Amino acid sequence: MTGIRALNLVLLLAAGSDHSAWRFVAPVRVLESGRLCVIPFDRTLYSRMRPDLGDLRLVKDDEEIPYVIETMAGSVEERECHPAALNKAVIPGSGVQITLDLAKCKDEPKHSRLRIATAETNFRQRVRIETSDDNRFWAVAREDGYIFDFTQGDKKVSALTVDYPISTGRYVRATIFGWTSADAIADAWSAYRVEQVAERYIVAGITPERTEDTGTRTSILTLDLSQPGLPNDRVRLDVDRSDFHRAAELESSDDAKTWRLAAQATVFQVGNEQSLALSYPERRNRYLRLRIFNGDNRPVPVVRVYVETLKRVMKFLPTSAGDVELYYGNPDAQPPVYDFAAILSRQAPLPETTPLVGEWKLNPSYRSPTEALKPWSERHPSLLYVVLGVAVVGMGLVTVRFLLKVRGG
C-alpha cells in the first residue's frame, strides 16, 4: 500500500488551490490585523481587470478572503413641484417676470431650483431669482443666474434651470432679462435639490490635440487615453479666466475613426460661476473627442482635459497580518458571491487601514485557455514523472517484501 499512499499524497498536493487561470498577480502586505483593509482602484488595476471587476480574488495561505467593492457615487435627491403662476408680465427696460405661489408644494416647503419651459431657441439670458414670504417684500436669492439654448440643425443643447440658496419662502419671482414677450415663458417648476458630491479618480490628464473646423465653427479636441479598458464617465476642462458660454458634445471611439455620441451639455465660465464638465454613462474606449460650438466667438482656450471615473475601493478583513495575493485577469471567472457586505452593514464601523500593494507581475502558474485544454499529463509532465517514479518505488518495495516472505517461508 506504500506506493498507493504516496500516489494519493502527490495527487492531493496537485489538487490544491488553483489560480492558474488568472494572468496577473500583485502582492499585498497587511501591516496589522483587526482593521478593515481598503485598496483604491487605480489605472494599473483597471487596465488589466475585467470591466465588471468580477475576476478579482484575494488569497492568503491558499484560502480566499471575501471582499466588497464600494463605489463613491454620491447621490442626488430632487423633489419637483408645479406651483401656481400668479402673474407673468413684461417689465419695461428689464425683461419678462413670472411669480410663483408654492402653497401647493407644502409637502416640501424648501426649494432651491427653478426650471422653465420655453419655445425660444438660440439664446443666453441672465436670470434674477427673488423669494418672499408674503408676496410684498422680496429678497434677492440670486442675481447672476443664466439660461441657455443652442440649436443648430439637428443639434440642440439647452440649460433651463437656475439654482439658488435653499429657501422656505412661499413665493418665488424670476426675471429673465432681455426677453420682450410674456409668452416666452411657457411654464415653470420649483424644485428642492440636495446633492452629495461623488468622489472621483482622475484616469488621465491630457493636453488635447486641437483642430478648428471653420465650416461648423467648432473647436475639436481629441483625447488619447493611451490604452483601451480604462473606465471613464466624465471629462473636466481646465481653461484660462476668459468668460464664455458654449454648447459642447463628446464622442468616443475605439479606433479614432468610428465615433459614437457620449454626451451633450453646456460649458460656461461667467464671473464666479462655471460649469466645465461633461458627464456620461461609463465607457472604456481609448479615444474621446470633444466638440465645442463657438459660433462667432473666439475659441475657448482649453489648457488641459481631465478624464475621470467614480472612485472605487476594495475592502476586506484579513484574519491576521502578513502577505496576501491579489489575482486578476481571468475573462472566464464567475463573479464571486460573498456575504461580507451584509456582515459589514450590520456591524459597527471598523477602523480602516491602507495595505501596501506591490508591483503587478505575470502569474508564474498562469496557463492560457488553450493550454488548459491539453490532457493533464501534457500540462504537468514533470509531475507525472514524479508520480510514476513514486509508484515504481512503491511497487518495488511491495515486491521486495513479498520475496522476503517467500524465502522465509
Residues in Cβ contact with 21 at an 8 Å cutoff, skipping those fewer than 6 apart: 330, 332, 333, 366, 367, 369, 372
Prediction pTM value: 0.73
Q: How far apart are CA 363 and CA 379, in angstroms?
A: 16
Q: How far apart are CA 154 and CA 189, in angstroms?
A: 27
Residue 218 vs residue 241, higher pLDDT: 218
Residues in Cβ contact with 235 at an 8 Å cutoff, skipping those fewer than 6 apart: 223, 250, 277, 278, 288, 290, 305, 306, 307, 308
- What CATH number is attached to the domain comprising 267? 2.60.120.260
4 confidence band (pLDDT: 50, 70, 90):
very low
Report percent pLDDT > 90 for the chain. 72
Cβ 285 vs Cβ 271: under 8 Å:
no
177 confidence band (pLDDT: 50, 70, 90):
very high
42 and 89 share a domain? Answer: no
Three state DSSP letters for 310-350: ECEEEEECCCCCEEEEEEECCCCCCCCCCCHHHHHHCCCCC
Q: Is 25 helix (H, G, I), strand (E, B) or coil?
A: strand
Of the listed ranges 203-207, 289-293, 374-378, the one predicted with least confidence? 374-378
Question: In 3D, which of 331, 339, 342, 334 has the Cα closest to residue 66?
Answer: 339
- Average pLDDT of the chain to the nearest whole number: 88
106 confidence band (pLDDT: 50, 70, 90):
confident
Q: How long a stretch of residues is the chain?
A: 409
271 confidence band (pLDDT: 50, 70, 90):
confident
Q: What is the pLDDT of residue 385?
A: 62
Is 3 domain-assigned? no
**Which tens digits make up the pLDDT trace of 199-209?**
999 999 999 99
Report how many domains make up the chain. 3
Residue 42 pLDDT more than 90?
yes
Work out the average pLDDT over 86-90.
94
Residue at 259: amino acid letter: W
Residue 365 burial by Cβ neighbours in a 10 Å radius (0-12, 13-18, 19+): exposed
Is 41 domain-assigned? yes
Q: Give the residue numbers spanning the domain of 349.
A: 21-72+317-366
The helix (run of H) or strand (run of E) holding residue 100 is: strand 95-101
Is 399 domain-assigned? no
Is 162 domain-assigned? yes
51 and 128 share a domain? Answer: no
131 and 233 share a domain? Answer: no
204 and 299 share a domain? Answer: yes
Read off the C-alpha cell for 267.
460649458
The helix (run of H) or strand (run of E) holding residue 69 is: strand 67-71
Residue 191 pLDDT more than 50?
yes
